[in-house]
Amino acid sequence: MPAKSHWTKLKGITKTCRTKTQFNRMCGICCAVSTCSSRSAMESRAYENLRKRGPCYGREIRKTAITKKDLSYHCLFSAHVLHMRGPMTPQPTEDDSGNVFLWNGEVFGGLPVGPEENDTLVLAQHLSDSQRPKEFLSVLSRVQGPWAFIYYQAAQHCLWFGRDFFGRRSLLWQCSAKERSVVLSSVAAAVSCAGDQHWQEVPAVGVYRMNLSELADLGTLTFEVYPWIHTGDVPPPASHKFKWEGLTSWASITMNDCGLFLRAPVCPLNRVVSEILPHTTHTISSQPSAEELDTLLACEERKKTVNQLIDVLSEAVRRRVQCLPFETPAPPLSNEKVEIAILFSGGIDSVILAALADRHVPVGKTIDLLNVAFKLQEPKRQKETSKKPKANKLKPVVSYAGSTESVVSDAFGVPDRITGRASLKELQAISPDRRWNFVEINVTCEELQKMRLKCISHLVYPLETVLDDSIGCAVWFAARGVGIATEGTEQKAYTSAAKVVLTGIGADEQLAGYSRHRARFNSAGLGGLVEELAMELGRISSRNLGRDDRIIGDHGKEARFPFLDEDVVSFLNTLPVWEKADLSLPRGLGEKLLLRLAARELGLGPSATLPKRAMQFGSRIAKLENGHERASDKCHRLHTA
């Protein structure tokens, strides 16, 4: 179909929008459906959170529809757009048939988007042309990239919604039997709700279809689910009931009657476990070095696999850093507009992303490296004792040059600050022409408590554990990008203006980076490790991605996850587990072994053997307020009412 039709069929979109390639944008999207016209879509706090996700443009569409039995329902659609490039494309979009589309996503592949087309409009057109559910699902199955969407089919009186296979974009729902309503939103607000009005994350197991005629007629709510299915898997029977905690008895979720499903965008995990593993003839020390990675790379077959990973991950990074309006390079040290930022701890995941981004961002452009640290508490004076004092984990610090550095004296000299500075030097060595903007983001306890109460708790919600609080707060301050940058010998206040933030989420889950993976391997061998990895990837939407999307999006910035690119995941899923990690090797080498070898192949040094350190510990937020809590405990600090 010619590109022109995408611009003429949708109401409110003028023909003047046809210009250069218009890629994606992040949005805050919301839909409220009720049998009561007085229903308010969102409380003011939640509406403000939505607006901050898309500060460039916002609008609403209201609809009232009459069903065959002369009963009515009312819909409110609201969207707030973060504009990335090209002329503004308003959302929600509405076509001549009254269908309404809200899209918070990006098409990085799978579905063709021409050089003069916009992905939102292309998808809206495809869905408008899809009269049957099978056609509708075929369109969504082809999209590669993160998304959450809401689509109203006027003639059928139904509402479609859902998240991508990994749940990389947030979507929440709230169902109320009392008000006979359902609200869908990218973000909500943590408030005390009486009765059944609690928000939950929409499970990323498929897409959902809601019959609005049924809501108006019977006053009940049934969500039909169309699940993601790998090729060869058998979909659940039509009688299958899905159960999720927090969904009221008034609403139910069932498998669709037609047995239809979406094709999973990645191949299934290789679960093969060999009794005989490849034999390696080398000796590894208890404190691995980069040179020992060179020994492992001497195997040609292994080196081939490493280069395949570099190629597929490099392409994933390219897709995420080149969908931006890069222009003529500005003079050095000017007040240029930086487009790309990386959550940067100095660990293997973030350093790899930086090294690969360097390949694809024009040399004259700066890349922001966002490094967050929480102020260290003053040590308590202890009475002299004959007991040996506990070792301070921050000293001594072995430098990357092999000598012993002096102890970092500043109050923000946390582990991630130390590794961040050291890894910065490595990046400067392999790419001296690049301006790496190392942004030191320093957070005091007072500012943490203030911003948690003001906004972070609302973004973490509906999650509520200590771990969610720690990571949510650390990511929020890091993504905000307000800190100190160094120019020459001077430090100055700096705020990152980058709209795109790369994050390393997905590397640990696929390459056995967590300590629990080593524990599972020690107790249950390779078979147990494979099952643990399958579980990790299966739950990543509910544990990490929805929360991080809400957190980063609050700054009008977009989170991008190269390690969860469909091609990257498919490649890693094809490999047997022992090619991705070897947990018989020491810490700092065996976990994420394949990625460490890739780092070495890219010319990186000691950063390739840094042991995994969780963000909440590396930034020291976990020790700032209460060091005796467990990660899974309910966090009382997140409850604001």
Residue 307, C-beta contacts closer than 8 angstroms, at least 6 positions apart: 601
Alpha carbon distance 359, 554 (integer Å) = 29
Cα angle vertex 511, ends 507, 516, to 5°?
100
Amino acid at residue number 416:
D
Alpha carbon distance 174, 171 (integer Å) = 10
Strand spans (E) along 83-205: 93-95, 100-105, 147-153, 158-163, 172-176, 181-185, 199-201
The neighbouring-strand residues paired with 242 are 253
Max CA pair span of the chain:
86
Task: For tokens 């705020």, name the residue.
Answer: 495
Residue 569, C-beta contacts closer than 8 angstroms, at least 6 positions apart: 166, 266, 506, 510, 537
Q: Which of 17, 27, 455, 635 is catalytic?
A: 27
DSSP-assigned letter for residue 541: I
Buried b / exposed e along 428-445 (16+ C-beta atoms within 10 A): eeebeebbbbbbbbbbee
In 3D space, the residue among 247, 76, 275, 168 whose CA is nearest the CA of residue 566 turns out to be: 168
Instruction: Look at residue 417 and give its three-state secondary structure.
Output: helix
Residue 228, C-beta contacts closer than 8 angstroms, at least 6 positions apart: 165, 205, 206, 261, 262, 263, 264
**Residue 461 — φ and ψ, nearest 5°?**
-55, 135
- For residue 252 the two structure tokens come to 């139910």
Cβ-contact 103, 147 below 8 angstroms: yes
In 3D space, the residue among 449, 461, 451, 454 whose CA is nearest the CA of residue 190 turns out to be: 461
Cβ-contact 153, 575 below 8 angstroms: no
Instruction: Look at residue 175 and give its three-state secondary structure.
Output: strand
Q: Is 193 a catalytic residue?
A: no
Alpha helix (H) residue ranges in 431-541:
445-451, 457-460, 466-480, 507-511, 515-538, 540
Sign of CA dihedral 443, 447, 450, 454: negative
Rg (CA), the chain: 25
Alpha carbon distance 520, 540 (integer Å) = 18
- For residue 28 the two structure tokens come to 């805050």
Cβ-contact 77, 31 below 8 angstroms: yes
Q: How far is CA 206 from the centre of its chain?
A: 18
* Residues belonging to the active site: 27
